[in-house]
Amino acid sequence: MKIFPIPILCLVLLCFCAAFTEAEYLKYKDPKQPLNVRIKDLMMRMTIEEKIGQMSQIERKLASPDILKKYFIGSVLSGGGSVPAPKASAESWVNMVNELQKGALSTRLGIPMIYGIDAVHGHNNVYNATIFPHNVGLGVTRDPELLKRIGAATALEVRATGIQYAFAPCIAVCRDPRWGRCYESYSEDHKIVQSMTEIIPGLQGDLPNNSRKGVPFVAGKTKVAACAKHFVGDGGTVKGIDENNTVIDYNGLLSIHMPAYLDSIRKGVATVMVSYSSWNGKKMHANYDLVTGFLKNKLKFRGFVISDWQGIDKITDPPHSNYSYSVQAGVLAGLDMVMLPENFTEFIDELTSQVKTNIIPMSRINDAVRRILRVKFVMGLFENPLADLSLKNQLGSQEHRELAREAVRKSLVLLKNGKRANEPLVPLPKKVPKILVAGSHADNLGNQCGGWTMEWQGVQGNDLTVGTTILSAVKKTVDPSTQVVYTKNPDSNFVRTNKFSYAIVVVGEVPYAETFGDSKNLSIIEPGPSTIKNVCGAVKCIVVVVSGRPVVMEPYVAHIDALVAAWLPGTEGQGVADVLFGDYGFIGKLARTWFRSVDQLPMNAGDLHYDPLFPFGNVIGSCLNYNIYIPICMHDKKVDAI
């Protein structure tokens, strides 16, 4: 028997061990490898089926671990109101997402899926989450740092449920309040919208100093991938008709609707969603020049482009009338991930066949997959694909509710204060014998939250989630000796005979979303106008308007003593009472023009003919007119000395 000399034995063993580890070592799974090396290594291993699976985002109702495994699905979403169970807890969300994730991880290459949801004013599909004011109110605050904190809180609440991707922010520049999505827009002024993109580093984390332009960035397990939407011109459609045609020249598109995309990309936004709308008659979902030519090539956006819900179906009119064409036009225009709420196998089959017949070049598929994988690698999804319950107490936490309450305070706009200059009604006295609270929106959490809350279209009433109505906030704020009488729609005789010191009337719009919110008349619903008439005709009154946009007010404004725009404040109604009763000052300035009558529309600040009821930037009764508030008006500090 020949004895190997020791050094040779060592060498043999070494080779054996190296060969063994090499078999186990997958470069793409090594977080120490550079990003591009990981992407390249993984792409090299992928089949066409695996690549097209990555491009498919399916609705959770279609998803199961087996489906994810069988079709190599890259992403799952919850549509508005699509929840694992009514009033589901953080645990049941986490379990659902993790179960699906295990399906994805059990595939040959184990590429994790990314789960997306419309967390557009807080984590708004989830019971007991903090619901922040809708964007129309946040634009009023003109406070980017506040937006960043809201983004960070939202990211924590979304992660608390195991979800890694929020379809927010909407950076539409709404130019016509008749649009049913106007409340999703921060302002008619693109500069305000641009500054509000600070919510992106809140959601995703601060961009490292050495990051390259356009490269997406998401800071890990307490942050989520964000989505700037809807690219581009969604807020500029004719007469504010949802999903319609934005008629504007190239310079107009670039100077009004595009700027906030530059800010978002500079801040490392991970994804961009394409708009349903058309630009000068061309559907954005099929617009190669803007999606690929401008967004990807000129602006150097390196994250992924996602379609809207059935966005490719709607490339044709009627939708889905030529699906082959839709897939071809959408993917060739530059869509990387396609949102598929219905028949996802139809998409996969169609796209596969178009790639196999060279209608869609493989290079286009590779571009899409490279972008999707880049986001997944950057955010650490391969290292941390499964969620735990460590963040569950973040959902609706007291700290986040305090933040939302601060946002509510800063989003209120005082439009009128007293019938005469020297007779202001606000701040309302806390200690009086008896006050009246009235109106359809005084004790209605659902109305306060608006659309995209628990359900896509929102829900009326107080059972939808946990929060504070304006009525209960008023009761908590007044002196214990003050009697608060609440009547939804009192007649004038009741008001007159009751000897109220004053009345608070809360009226407005009922919840809506998207096309269902399109309105030609922008009138507040009955009995709102009657309540204003009955109450304000009989006693000194303040009207608080809860609405997703300016609404018709001119006929009533002379009869009311004070008027406040509260927008859609969300669950923390206490913020309204904080300011009405003077614990904090009014600091909000209109971020939209308040029209007199709908026939003036569209009418925006800077227009040649500008004759609003209340102008953009309106400060009536705020810091400038309100001596006592001057020291605090920029700071939302508590008023000590009233």
Ligand X SMILES: *[C@@H]1O[C@H](CO)[C@@H](O)[C@H](O)[C@H]1NC(C)=O
For β-strands 413-417 and 562-565, DSSP reports them as antiparallel
The token duo for 373 is 């994988």
CB of 637 to ligand X, least distance (A): 27
Stretch that binds ligand X, among 35-43, 53-61, 342-350, 456-464 (CB under 6 A): 342-350
162 binds ligand X (CB under 6 A): no
CB of 81 to ligand X, least distance (A): 18
DSSP secondary structure code for residue 638 in this structure: P
128 binds ligand X (CB under 6 A): yes
Helix 344-356 vs helix 323-333: angle between axes, to the nearest 10 degrees? 70
Contacts of 102 (CB under 8 A, 6+ apart): 65, 386
358 binds ligand X (CB under 6 A): no
CB of 48 to ligand X, least distance (A): 18
- Tokens 């919840």 belong to 511
Residues 450-489 that bind ligand X (CB under 6 A): 466
CB of 596 to ligand X, least distance (A): 16
- Taken as a whole, the chain contains a residue count of 642
The rounded distance, in Å, linking the Cα atoms of 454 and 409 is 23
395 binds ligand X (CB under 6 A): yes
325 binds ligand X (CB under 6 A): yes
343 binds ligand X (CB under 6 A): yes
Q: Which of 26, 241, 432, 605 binds ligand X (CB under 6 A)?
A: 241
| Chain-centroid distance, C-alpha 459 | 18
Beta carbon nearer to ligand X, 210 or 363: 210
The sheet that has 278-279: what strands, in order across it? 245-246, 278-279, 282-283
CA atoms within 13 A on the CB side of 221: 11
396 binds ligand X (CB under 6 A): yes
Catalytic-residue membership of 388: no
324 binds ligand X (CB under 6 A): yes
The rounded distance, in Å, linking the Cα atoms of 102 and 591 is 45
Catalytic-residue membership of 583: no
Dump strand ranges (E) for 52-113.
56-59, 75-78
Q: Which of 21, 209, 422, 497 binds ligand X (CB under 6 A)?
A: 209
Structural Rg of the chain based on CA atoms: 27
Find out whether 451 and 433 touch, Cβ atoms under 8 Å.
no
Beta carbon nearer to ligand X, 78 or 277: 277
Burial readout 430-446 (b: 16 or more C-beta within 10 A, e: otherwise): beeeebbbbbbbbbbbb
SS3 state of residue 416: strand
Stretch that binds ligand X, among 21-29, 62-70, 131-139, 341-349 (CB under 6 A): 341-349
531 binds ligand X (CB under 6 A): no
Beta carbon nearer to ligand X, 345 or 600: 345
CB of 264 to ligand X, least distance (A): 18
Backbone angles phi, psi at 110, to 5 degrees: 60, 40
Q: Which of 99, 206, 367, 583 binds ligand X (CB under 6 A)?
A: 206
Catalytic residue among 157, 188, 514, 578: 514
Helix 398-411 vs helix 144-160: angle between axes, to the nearest 10 degrees? 150
C-alpha distances out from residue 175 to 165, 180, 193, 622, Å = 28, 12, 12, 25
Q: Which of 101, 244, 440, 472 binds ligand X (CB under 6 A)?
A: 244
Contacts of 414 (CB under 8 A, 6+ apart): 426, 562, 563, 564, 586, 588, 620, 621, 622
393 binds ligand X (CB under 6 A): yes
328 binds ligand X (CB under 6 A): yes
CA-angle at 131, arms to 587 and 274, nearest 5°: 95
Stretch that binds ligand X, among 23-31, 76-84, 186-194, 238-246 (CB under 6 A): 238-246
Stretch that binds ligand X, among 9-17, 102-110, 243-251, 450-458 (CB under 6 A): 243-251
Beta carbon nearer to ligand X, 396 or 602: 396
Find out whether 547 and 512 touch, Cβ atoms under 8 Å.
no
440 binds ligand X (CB under 6 A): no
Beta carbon nearer to ligand X, 327 or 590: 327
Catalytic residue among 118, 242, 308, 313: 308
Beta carbon nearer to ligand X, 346 or 423: 346
CB of 63 to ligand X, least distance (A): 15
CB of 34 to ligand X, least distance (A): 19
Q: Which of 135, 264, 397, 531 binds ligand X (CB under 6 A)?
A: 397
CB of 545 to ligand X, least distance (A): 16
Stretch that binds ligand X, among 287-295, 338-346, 594-602, 619-627 (CB under 6 A): 338-346
Backbone angles phi, psi at 388, to 5 degrees: -115, -170
Contacts of 186 (CB under 8 A, 6+ apart): 135, 136, 138, 139, 171, 192, 193, 196, 591
Residues 496-525 that bind ligand X (CB under 6 A): 519-521, 523
Beta carbon nearer to ligand X, 99 or 342: 342
**Torsion angle, CA of 489/492/497/500, rounded to 10 degrees?**
60
DSSP secondary structure code for residue 357 in this structure: T
- Tell me which residue of 245, 241, 291, 261 sits closest to 193, measured CA to CA: 261
Residues marked active site are found at: 308, 514
Tell me which residues touch ligand X (CB under 6 A): 128, 206, 208-209, 241, 243-245, 278, 322, 324-325, 328, 343, 345-346, 349, 393, 395-397, 466, 519-521, 523
